[in-house]
Chain A
Amino acid sequence: KAGVTQTPRYLIKTRGQQVTLSCSPISGHRSVSWYQQTPGQGLQFLFEYFSETQRNKGNFPGRFSGRQFSNSRSEMNVSTLELGDSALYLCASSLGSTLEQFFGPGTRLTVL
C-alpha cells in the first residue's frame, strides 16, 4: 500500500509570492490534515478536510487556504509569502478521524 505522498519535496520562493503544495493520501483515506512544523513552534495544525469539506481549522491567517478534491487529494495554498512561512509542511491522512494519522515526508518551503 503506497504511503502519503507530497509534492514538491523542496521549494524556494521569495516574499510576496504564492505557493501551492500537493498531498495524495493513502488509498481509501478520506481525511487529509495539514500541519506546519518550525523549530520554534513544533507541529501546528493548519486545517483538516474530509470528503471535500473543511471540518476544522487552526489559528493561521487567511493567507493559508486549502481544498480537497473528489479523489481525496488535497492542495494547500499560501499567498503573499512571508519570511516566517519558511517551514516543513506536513500532510497526514486517515480513514476519518485523528486515530492513527499517517504522515507524508513533507514539503520544505524556504522563503527568501
Chain B
Amino acid sequence: DQQVKQNSPSLSVQEGRISILNCDYTNSMFDYFLWYKKYPAEGPTFLISISSIKDKNEDGRFTVFLNKSAKHLSLHIVPSQPGDSAVYFCAASGPGAGSYQLTFGKGTKLSVIP
C-alpha cells in the first residue's frame, strides 16, 4: 500500500506561470516531508523540506505547503522556468526508526514550455 502518493504522473506549464505539484500521504506518523528533483541520468537533488510543526516553507521560487488535517502537501514553483523541467518526488519520514528512511511517491514529471 502506497503511503505517499503523487497522483499526477505529468504536468505541463508555460514558462513564467506557476507550477503546482501535489502529494498525499496516508501515514499519520510522518512528521517530516521533502521534495526532490531528478534529471535523467542523475540522482535526486534535494529541493526543500517542511516539518509537521509548520504549514509553509519558502525558499526562493519554491514554496511547500502542508495541510496536516488533509494529509496533503504541495510544491509551488513561481515563476516556472524551462530548467525546472524534471521529475519531482515527494518524500516523507517519521519518528524513531522511521526517521532513518524516506518513503517516496512515484514522482511527477514537470515540463515547462518556453
Size class of the contact patch on chain A: 20 to 34
In the assembled complex, the Cα of A90 lies from the Cα of B45 at a distance in Å of: 12
| A48 located at the interface, meaning its Cβ lies under 8 Å from any Cβ of chain B in the complex | yes
CB atoms of B46 and A101 under 8 A apart: yes
Q: Which of B53-68 contact A (CB under 8 A)?
A: none
- 8 A Cβ contacts from B69-111 to A: 89, 91, 93, 97-107
> Is the contact region of chain A dominated by helix, strand, or loop, or is it mixed?
strand
**Chain B residues with CB under 8 A of A31:** 100
| Nearest neighbor of B44 in chain A, beta-carbon distance | A103
Residues of A within 8 A of B36 (CB): 103
Q: Of residues 17 to 32 in A, which have CB atoms within 8 Å of B's CB atoms?
A: 31
Question: Shortest Cβ distance from B55 into chain A, in angstroms?
Answer: 19
Q: B residues near A, CB below 8 A?
A: 32, 34, 36, 41-46, 49, 89, 91, 93, 97-107
* Consensus secondary structure, chain B interface: mixed
**Contact across chains for A50 and B100 when beta carbons are under 8 A apart:** yes
A102's nearest neighbour on chain B, judged by CB, is: B46
B49 near A99: Cβ-Cβ < 8 Å: yes
Stretch from A38-46, A67-75, A76-84 that touches the partner: A38-46
Chain B residue at minimum C-beta to C-beta distance from A57:
B101
Q: Give me 17 A-to-B residue pairs in the complex whose CB atoms sit less than 8 angstroms apart, sorted by A's number.
A: A4-B43, A33-B100, A33-B102, A42-B106, A42-B107, A43-B89, A43-B102, A48-B100, A56-B101, A90-B43, A98-B34, A98-B93, A100-B34, A104-B43, A105-B41, A105-B42, A105-B43
Task: Report the separation of the CA atoms of residues A112 and B49 in the bound assembly, to the nearest whole angstrom.
Answer: 39
